[in-house]
Structure 1
Amino acid sequence: MVAMVRSGDLLHTLRRIRRKLVIYFRYRHFGNLRRVRERYLQLMLGCLTGSIYEDPPLKALGSDTFDAKLREYGWDWPSVAHSMIGRRRMGNLRDLAEEVLFNRVPGDFIETGVWRGGACIYLRAILEAYGVRDRRVWAADSFEGLPPPDPAYPADAGDTFHTYTELAVPIEAVKRNFEKYGLLDEQVAFLKGWFKDTLPGAPTGPLAILRMDGDMYESTMDALTHLYDRVSQGGYVIVDDYRVVEGCRKAVDEFRAMRNIMDEIIEIDGVGIFWQKTA
């Protein structure tokens, strides 16, 4: 498995280099446009993760001092910033979004479990930066926090995510966060409610990116069960907490085994992983 992951990392790195070269030669006569786009997306990354203004983590969860390394890897919960996934996972999201745009992989982008909306805001910013008007960003969340463990899913037994009030961010607050960046428009759609209720009939159509951040076994399995078949060939499946939440990892492993999915799992930062859907 280690060899597989490393080969996948190398392949993804080569694809990134190729994409950067394509961008350079395609827009070499538009140097200013390239620079402005890069600065905009880097500024958005810094703002959304809070690393640009070094906001401290939530005091109730431990230290109240900003730590650049913790924020880089998404190991703290920011007090003000609109995302907790850190710079590494946010950067990966940009890489994969640009990949599907340049390869013309059809479909929208969706995140299941959005917290304050940061990752979805970044996806919308990427569409804006490249002038894409025919894709939408879907933000799926209860906007009430996580559900208590369901006895039907033993893997979630003892889970305490539902006790963290910090995870309950009202939909109105998330929409205001989009508005702060001038990115709340018809290319953003919201799916409010528990995944088991909203995802089966979600009017998304094809998906180019499925990003899951529901933490629990039930939430992860719901997203995979109802959305995986909508992911286009060449699209990406991202799992935020695969390496740190046992229930999440168990759901992914069971689903992949059940569906005989052999696509390589590629590490992001020791927490999140992704794979490209090849069939």
Structure 2
Amino acid sequence: MRNLIKFESHARIAIITIDRPDELNALSEAALRELQLIVQRIQQSTEVRAVILKGEGKSFCAGGDIGFFYQVVKMEPALRPAEVRAYVGLAHEVIAQLAALEVPLIVCAQGPVAGFGLSLCCLADVLIADENTKFVPAYIGLGATPDGGLSHNLPVLIGERKALQLLLTNQVFGAFDAEKWGLVSGVVESSKLMDSAIQYAEKIVNGPLKAIINTRQLIKKDRLSELKNQLELELESFAECVMTADFVEGVMAFVEKRKPEFV
């Protein structure tokens, strides 16, 4: 069985690649568990000074595993929350681990980036986007609420009012708007995406390690505890939503490639 997450390290830079290109790098439970182990490995390393997270193929990450949610909506409503708590809870463990990294996290975004993929982007210290990237909040379209810390991190980055506009209307937005609003650090041509990320990483690894670690801590420390609380709130909210008819409709409409008709 092949790995769903690739890991390589060179010149003090760790590179994590989500490798489910046929599913637009949507994160299955198995992929999340692999990602969790890799992040733990990086946390234990004394060599790594910067981390790059990217996706193989046309998309960085299209969010959660729609196949999982399709199976969930077939269950009796009362049985759904436990299944979702286990899956989303695992995703939140990964988010908490990435947020707790001492070294900077650089994310490369390309193609459609949706749902949990957007949550990962919001977690980055540096977010580099392909000029053709399209960001999709996605959750309202499924009859669900944000997870992965999105409801915490997106307002911090772009402001509460803009975040609400995007989330409540499921508004698709491009890389240049994301840069203007403060979500994206830089927009580059497709062919230069990884090179740009490496350049950022090299500047970091060649800098003063303690000063870099402490600077990140000064900026992020208080928000990290807030994020942990918000992850718990997001999990409970998502679990409530999966019992509704709107969630069933949202998932079925996505699978059937049609517009949902919410009640």
Give the TM-score band, short-chain normalised. under 0.3
Write 1 or 2 for the structure with the bigger share of helix.
Answer: 2
Question: Structure 1-normalised TM-score?
Answer: 0.25
